[in-house]
Structure 1
Amino acid sequence: MGLGALLGLTAGVTLVAATATFGIARLRGRYDTVDTFWGLGFALVAVVAFPFGSGPLPLRLVTAALTVVWGVRLSVHLHVRNHGKPEDPRYQRMVERAGANPGLRMYGRVYLVQAVILWFVSLPVQFAMYGTGLGVLGWLGVAVWVLGFTFETVGDAQLSRFRADPDSRGKVLDTGLWRYTRHPNYFGDACVWWGLYLLACSTWPGAATILSPVVMTFTLARGTGKPMLEKGMAQTRPGYATYVERTSGFVPLPPKKLTRR
């Protein structure tokens, strides 16, 4: 199968998967089901693309495996985090603002939009299936992926332990990786996709997919990721403003020393 045909196939599969997820969300009465779909959607694209690529088997295997491992871990983590809790307030507010036909509006504004972003961000994974080999950039990509995956998994584990501790109520997590960046999980997420992008760089068409990791990074740092989360934290955690002053917002850096006034 040629690359163009594969892109059409994965677009169709992503649309069907997003629509099916929306149906499940309606049955569950929870629109945050889309959070679980996010990582699994990338894994699905990688699995669908793998057998049709013409690139060397090691490159295709590494690309597919890294995408699936990242996607499944993220989806399981988000599902466990949301399980047994009320609907995510973000989606509650969206439904309240939707007016008439909230279901249709949520499908268009959330599920379809996420499907489009997912397919676009996954372009490096799809193009890597037609690459020429791992090479220096490919192995560098694996290293960047490992760095990102480590930040993401360790950061999520530290946050989960912090939230599970009753003594942490109303406090701000500022230890571990969270001492150096306010969002180690988001930083790790971005690194994962820059790593997967490097795996696609064995060809010029693959290198041209650079906007995919740019979009993912922008979404995490400036879009629906960091800003929305920090707005809620500032309203519920009294010490969060001071934490923001001394701690890097995205890229890990040594904390600043604040001067008392």
Structure 2
Amino acid sequence: MNAGAFGLNLAVTAAVTLAVLLAAFAVGLRTGRHRGVDVAWGLAFTAVALTGYALSAGYGDPGRRLLATVLVAVWGLRLSAHLWWRARGEPEDPRYARMLARAPEGAARTRYALRTVYLLQAALVWFVSLPVQAAQYLPGPPGPVAWTGTALWAVGLSFETVGDRQLARFKADPANRGRIMDRGLWRWTRHPNYFGDACVWWGLFLLAADAAVGWAFVPSPLLMTYLLAFGSGKPMLERHLSARRPGWAEYAARTSGFLPLPPRRHPTPPTAPPARHHP
């Protein structure tokens, strides 16, 4: 790996990531809704991959560069399109509404949104994408580890895509209003999309793990997995669902929280009293 070229790449991709999230911030200010940052998340990863592909020409193996770029772009554009479609005409995401309610109204809240929503996500995009950026600068063609990563990426994308489609069909049926989705992949894990996301990023990490230098970037998928399973992903969403969906405690007792596993036949009842449900 050419250290000088890779260092320049890191600086340019940081600027590109910041530009995408600042553009999303401008849209959020204009619309009064910050849920659009979720759409920008996938677009920012795609922009980083395309930038790395352009800058790594003449340094990395052409096949590996193209593979890494295509995998990120397919994942990122599908995710952004899905989130954009789901958010059309919807009010502010409850997660961001609760987060921004901590700050006083006016300019202070605007600065708080910029720091805690947009700049933080820009930093996460850049850090999580480091294995992809490194893979684009590796001189050798993809080997068995990289192709294993591609297979793991495909598993992850399938979980995300199928899980999202199953949930969309479930919500489209008026008979399911207020019910818990516990069919298909959702019978095996409460969060097939989060599990799939983790698989995608471990797979992309393996594109760089063909070379010893690639293992220096293992903190990136570790951080992504932590955020999905223990940070701002699963726990935050489940706090919202447990307070508003009757039957959530029973569903959570029989269904794996992250890894796909067979449903428990004799689930352990929740130790805490169920949350009050709002009409």
- TM-score category (smaller protein): over 0.9
SS at structure 1 position matched to 2:117: helix
Which residue is equivalent to 2:81? Answer: 76
Equivalences for residues 58-137 of structure 1 within 5 A = 58-100=63-105, 101-131=108-138, 132-137=140-145
SS at structure 2 position matched to 1:98: coil
The amino acid across from 2:263 in the alignment is P
Q: CA RMSD in A?
A: 1.3
Equivalences for residues 172-183 of structure 1 within 5 A = 172-183=180-191
Matched, 1:15 2:18: yes
Q: CA deviation at 1:13?
A: 1.1
Q: 1:203 to 1:142 in 2, by over 3 A?
A: same
Q: 1:58 to 1:90 in 2, by over 3 A?
A: same
For structure 1, the 5+ residue unaligned runs are none
Which residue is equivalent to 1:203? Answer: 211
Q: CA deviation at 1:260?
A: 9.1
Equivalences for residues 147-226 of structure 1 within 5 A = 147-226=155-234
Q: CA deviation at 1:241?
A: 0.5
Q: CA deviation at 1:94?
A: 2.0
- Paired with 1:169 and 1:117, the residues of 2 have a C-alpha distance of 35
Which residue is equivalent to 2:41? Answer: 38
The amino acid across from 1:24 in the alignment is V
Q: CA deviation at 1:254?
A: 0.6
TM-score (normalised: structure 1):
0.97
- Paired with 2:152 and 2:121, the residues of 1 have a C-alpha distance of 25
The amino acid across from 2:122 in the alignment is A
- Paired with 1:165 and 1:259, the residues of 2 have a C-alpha distance of 28
The amino acid across from 1:118 in the alignment is V
- Paired with 1:71 and 1:259, the residues of 2 have a C-alpha distance of 36
Q: CA deviation at 1:215?
A: 0.7
- Paired with 2:255 and 2:40, the residues of 1 have a C-alpha distance of 31
- Paired with 2:182 and 2:66, the residues of 1 have a C-alpha distance of 38
- Paired with 1:113 and 1:205, the residues of 2 have a C-alpha distance of 26
Q: CA deviation at 1:98?
A: 1.1
Q: CA deviation at 1:161?
A: 0.8
Q: CA deviation at 1:259?
A: 6.1
Equivalences, count? 261
The amino acid across from 1:154 in the alignment is V
Q: CA deviation at 1:28?
A: 1.5
Give CA-to-partner distance per residue, 1:71-98, whole Å, 9 cap, x none.
0000111111111111111111222211
The amino acid across from 2:216 in the alignment is A
SS at structure 1 position matched to 2:218: helix
- Paired with 1:135 and 1:36, the residues of 2 have a C-alpha distance of 33
Q: CA deviation at 1:169?
A: 1.1
Displaced runs of 4 or more, over 6 A: none
Which residue is equivalent to 2:52? Answer: 49
Instruction: Tell me if structure 1 keeps the 8 A contact 2:130–2:217.
Output: yes
SS at structure 2 position matched to 1:14: helix
Instruction: Tell me if structure 1 keeps the 8 A contact 2:159–2:193.
Output: yes
SS at structure 2 position matched to 1:126: helix
Give CA-to-partner distance per residue, 1:156-203, whole Å, 9 cap, x none.
000111111111111111110011100000000000000000001122
- Paired with 1:228 and 1:158, the residues of 2 have a C-alpha distance of 22
TM-score (normalised: structure 2):
0.91
Instruction: Tell me if structure 2 keeps the 8 A contact 1:179–1:247.
Output: yes
- Paired with 2:77 and 2:196, the residues of 1 have a C-alpha distance of 15
